[in-house]
């Protein structure tokens, strides 16, 4: 079903620019939404696909809401934006979730008909570039790295130069994107819920209602 929806996107245009917003979304908040919207507009993307992770390889499961809850909160948060979609690919995949598998899956659907832009915050891009085969990943997609309060983007410039020093299109793999600074994180939201501090205005009200109703992160 999802595959069909993705294939349908290609009926409208010869070549698509697709943004991929991966995350735990535990829970999704305005930092994620602003980042996706800015990437959509600044890079003239046709769609942004939010991809909630299954079992994240790097995260401890301590206060991790179920995959279904994280998926539903992502759907609720993005429902009103016609350019946002949510994919179940990582949620439905058995075993651990790796971005590289997701990129291969999407590449197989879109083939050469789309350019994939993996959208991340400054913290996540630094992690990705230290993976074991960052070059294979950069063959499958380009990166849009958004500024995020508390993370130094000068390291990105350094890693970019180091990784792509031999490529003549050095500058075409990783794009830095300035966004309005939002010092919001899911970790902080979870800790606020635990300690009874307010979370209003950090995330969409509908998501806030969902997590209160289901007593998540208590
Ligand atoms: P946690 O605190 O649980 O790690 P998080 O707020 O970092 O959650 P993730 O789901 O880990 O959210 O992040 C998904 C993606 O969104 C990552 O690429 C991350 O860098 C980016 N991101 C999250 N919050 C922001 C923000 N406030 N500004 C810019 N990018 C962000
Ligand atoms: Mg994070």
Which residue ranges make up each domain of the chain? 2-184
Tens of pLDDT along 42-53? 999 999 999 999
Using alpha carbons, select from 92, 133, 113 the residue that is nearest to residue 1: 92
Spatial CB neighbours of 112, under 8 Å, sequence gap ≥ 6? none
Tens of pLDDT along 60-87? 556 999 999 999 999 999 999 999 999 9
Q: From atom 24 of ligand 1, which residue's Cα is the shortest distance away? A: 31
Spatial CB neighbours of 39, under 8 Å, sequence gap ≥ 6? 19, 21, 45, 48, 117, 119, 144, 146, 177
| Cα separation, 181 vs 69, whole angstroms | 27
Ligand 1 touching residue 156 (CB < 6 A)? no
Q: From atom 22 of ligand 1, which residue's Cα is the shortest distance away? A: 121
| Cα separation, 26 vs 22, whole angstroms | 12
**7 Cα to the center of ligand 2, angstroms:** 30
Tens of pLDDT along 10-54? 888 899 999 999 999 999 999 999 999 999 999 999 999 999 998
Ligand 1 touching residue 184 (CB < 6 A)? yes
Question: Residues for the chain: how many in total?
Answer: 218
Q: Got the DSSP string for 79-124?
A: TT-TTEEE--HHHHSSSB--HHHHHHHHHHHHGGGEEEEEEEEHHH
Give, for 170, the enclosing helix (H) or strand (E). none
**170 Cα to the center of ligand 1, angstroms:** 26
CATH code assigned to 2-184: 3.40.50.620
């Amino acid at each position: 079903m999802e595959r069909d929806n993705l294939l349908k996107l290609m009926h409208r245009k010869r070549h698509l620019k697709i943004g991929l917003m991966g995350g735990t979304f535990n829970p999704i908040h305005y930092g994620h939404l602003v980042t996706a919207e800015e990437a959509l507009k600044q890079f003239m993307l046709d769609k942004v696909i939010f991809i909630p992770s299954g079992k994240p390889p790097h995260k401890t499961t301590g206060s991790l809401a179920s995959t279904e809850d994280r998926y539903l909160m992502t759907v609720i948060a993005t429902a009103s934006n016609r350019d946002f979609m949510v994919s179940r690919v990582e949620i439905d995949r058995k075993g651990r979730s790796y971005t590289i598998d997701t990129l291969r899956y999407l590449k197989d659907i879109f083939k050469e008909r789309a350019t994939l832009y993996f959208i991340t915050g400054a913290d996540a891009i630094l992690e990705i570039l230290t993976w074991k085969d960052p070059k294979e990943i950069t063959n499958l997609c380009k990166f849009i790295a958004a500024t995020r309060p508390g993370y130094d983007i000068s390291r990105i410039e350094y890693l970019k130069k180091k990784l792509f020093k031999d490529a003549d299109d050095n500058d075409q793999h990783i794009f830095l994107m300035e966004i309005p600074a939002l010092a919001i994180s899911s970790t902080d939201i979870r800790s606020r819920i635990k300690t009874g501090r307010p979370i209003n205005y950090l995330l969409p009200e509908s998501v806030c209602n969902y997590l209160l109703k289901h007593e998540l992160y208590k």
